[in-house]
Amino acid sequence: MIDAKIQFSENELNLAADIDFILTKNRIIEKVYSLFGLLADTYVKLGKDVLPQETISNSPKISRGENYKGLPYVMLDYPRFFTKEDVLAIRTMFWWGNDLSITLHLKGKFKPADPAMFFKLNESDPSNWYLQLSDDEWLHHKTAISHKRVIDLTSGEMNNLMIRKTAFVKIARFYPLQQWCNADKFFEKSFSSLIQNL
């Protein structure tokens, strides 16, 4: 007899026996990949005359995984300039059961000394941009304590955050999965706003 500690619950057994669940999940991930492929082409066109030349030599990269905080995800990175000291990257992300997001990640020589670009970004596209407060450079989701809306920050608070965060800065925007039908427009507009304000 199987040890009681490794028994399936009724819900787990039902899911394990349900092939439609996994096949549906696979179709969803394929559709996300398709959208991100189209976005990659759009991002390259939008960024070719705007982004620093050294940051666009790497082509867009789409990757997926099954375990960001226990849940599946798909990511598109472009531009994707990563070195130990310097980063300029824009990450587009689908996170199962949560949301869609786009994040600008700046580090080293790309990190602005003046926070004015973030206020400028918010003025040109005041759609709930969030500054990451967490010191975890590889955090990709928003919590009540990890992010704060740019619109809610004073210039003094922003300066303090910029000084405190000596290594990197990340600004992000989040979008509900339920509005998937407009996700392409959300990402294209957000990407354009980010690169125009670099």
Non-local (6+) Cβ contacts of 81 within 8 A are 52, 54, 55, 58, 87, 88, 89, 110
CA dihedral 110, 113, 116, 119 (to 10 degrees): 60
**What tokens does 92 get?**
């587009």
The model's pTM: 0.91
Measured CA to CA, the distance from residue 196 to residue 174 in angstroms comes to 19
Q: Could you tell me if 184 and 191 are in contact, meaning their C-beta atoms sit under 8 angstroms apart?
A: no
Domain ranges of the chain: 8-196
Measured CA to CA, the distance from residue 145 to residue 148 in angstroms comes to 8
Total residues found in the chain within this entry: 198
Measured CA to CA, the distance from residue 39 to residue 41 in angstroms comes to 5
Measured CA to CA, the distance from residue 89 to residue 49 in angstroms comes to 16
From first to last of the 198 residues of the chain, give the pLDDT tens digit. Answer: 566 678 999 999 999 999 999 999 999 999 999 999 999 999 999 999 999 999 999 999 999 999 999 999 999 999 999 999 999 999 999 999 999 999 999 999 998 877 778 878 777 666 689 999 888 899 999 988 889 888 888 878 887 777 666 689 999 999 999 999 999 999 999 999 999 988
CA dihedral 89, 50, 174, 24 (to 10 degrees): -80
